[in-house]
Amino acid sequence: MDASIITALAALTGAAVGGLTSGVAAWLNHRSQVRTEWILHEKSRRQALYKDFIDEAKQRTQAAGEKAKRAVAGNDMPLGDRIMSNVKETAHKTAADIDAAKRDIRHGAAEHGDRGTRGVHRFGDDEQGGAGCGLRP
């Protein structure tokens, strides 16, 4: 074999190895960036889900507090205070149902591909229809 052919093959092989190495490095870098973006997206999505869940839990807790306040006071509570407490409880229940629906639309539809809310639970009803907290994570 001629020395010039060996030199040319060595140069071509070196260029091929260098190009392949550069291509693999670029692919790994891109993969790492995509994974980092995905992790950040998932983290922000989970934070929004937790915030929605906490907002719903706060509203349901406040509604339960109003109901408990009326139950403890019984007939000793003035009529105006009972009505106001009832209105507040209803407002908290409605706000919690809205929070649950927003959470279902934002997170449920995006994850499961369904059309939106999977149904809003009534306060105090669990999956079997008995008394429960009415919260869904």
More confidently predicted of 124 and 67: 67
| Contacts of 108 by beta carbon, 8 Å cutoff, 6+ apart | 114, 116, 117, 118
- Report pLDDT digits (tens) over 4-59: 899 999 999 999 999 999 999 999 999 999 999 999 999 998 998 899 889 999 99
pLDDT class of 123 with cuts at 50, 70, 90: very low
63-100 per-position pLDDT tens digit:
999 999 888 888 888 989 889 999 999 999 999 998 88
What pLDDT is stored for residue 109 in this prediction?
58
Whether residue 97 contacts residue 57, with contact meaning beta carbons closer than 8 Å, is answered with no
Beta bridge partners of 131: 125
Measured distance CA(47)–CA(60) in Å, rounded = 20
Domains of the chain by residue range:
1-41, 48-118+133-137
Residue 110 has a pLDDT of 54
